[in-house]
Amino acid sequence: MKKIVILGSTGSIGRSALQIAEAFPDQYKIVGLSAGRNVDLLCAQIEQFRPKVVAVSDTAGYAVLKAARRGKKSPRILVGSDGICEVAAESSADIVLSAIVGSAGLMPTLSAVRAGKAVALANKEALVIAGDVVMAEVRKYGGALLPVDSEHSALFQCMHGWTRDGIRRLILTASGGPFRGRKRSALRDVTAKDALRHPNWTMGKKITIDSATLMNKGLEVIEACHLFGMPLERISVLIHPQSIVHSIVEYVDGSYLAQMSRPDMRGPIALALSYPERLPGAVEPLRLEQLASLSFEQPDTKTFPCLDLAYQSMATGGTLPAVMNAANEIAVHAFLEGRIRFTDIPRIISRVMSVHAVLPASTIGVVMESDRWARFRAQEELTA
């Protein structure tokens, strides 16, 4: 039986992972959970899964959780970033699912890595902002990173057993989001409600907006560079509206290997948690005879410039990916609150990137200072 810690247990990935644990109780035991502000759901998860230790992100949530658990057999309850990092390093855990959204997931992911854990990585930002440092720590402490993003899980499966020398290119697929086919002028007045209507996937708000701008695919390109040791120029993106082919590996002999499944995150989550085995019935199988077509097209980076901004940040390297990511987080949050237009998101990111003095991303301290600077600068751009 594998013992699991889930960081971000109340988010969409965390909830899906708990569904898998519930479906396979003889294979998985939940020993740790962390959550942000959804304390009511965390309380229900504690009742059902009986973890040893939990953590919440702030003192207000801690007080509510302590009060809710008064008189009950409670897990150890921790608070704040340090508490979440402690849960991530829980000694009894075999695998840690890192599913905290955004840069907040970096330090807990590093804590799990430094504890020598296998990490099922759903927090792409950890590699976007500090990929060199994270991968060096994985090698140093002997842990493992198992991809949870559907695209990286697909690449992981299609690359299995083959050397990098035989690979010509990695191709990440993207649905194109809710605005595929529209021109930039038609996006000026779209609302957050419009942008959150993803055609294929059910995800959290931030990643859904990133999908609409194509920034999510840009972040995944950077993640793939670090995760698979592949240079940027050998990673491409294709729009695939059906979201059935999750990624493709092109080999030097002209062969292509693709991974296909329904757009259901329980599939890649189950694979990461069960690797090297596979869980029977993790997702409903495809009915290939019912697939009308599978189509692919080049992304429209004039209408959706965030993808190019991500490529530019990785081509420059150093602290620029961290700055790009931080500016995007601020801009997306502002859009969700109705403070800026959808088309302002890439404008703000581009402006912040253009005035950043890039440094080598040699330490976590340097990365986090660049992140802090970019957030402050992006806030200034919101009113510019």
Q: Which residue type sits at 109?
A: T
pTM here? 0.94
Neighbours of 67 (CB within 10 A): 9
The torsion angles phi and psi of 53, rounded to 5 degrees, stand at -145, 145
316-338 pLDDT, tens digit per residue, is: 999 999 999 999 999 999 999 99
CATH annotation of 2-147: 3.40.50.720
Tell me how far the alpha carbon of residue 230 is from its chain's centroid: 19
Kind of pairing, strands 95-98 and 235-239? unpaired
CB 29 within 8 A of CB 3: yes
Q: Where are the domains of the chain?
A: 2-147
- Angstrom CA distances, 38 to 41, 58, 265, 378, stand at 6, 11, 21, 27
2-43 pLDDT, tens digit per residue, is: 999 999 999 999 999 999 999 999 999 999 999 998 999 999
pLDDT given for residue 102 in this prediction: 85
Rounded CA-CA distance 358/291 in Å is: 47
CB 120 within 8 A of CB 88: no
CB 320 within 8 A of CB 352: no
Rounded CA-CA distance 268/355 in Å is: 38
Mean pLDDT of the chain: 95
CB 93 within 8 A of CB 3: yes
**Both structure tokens of 52:** 């040893």
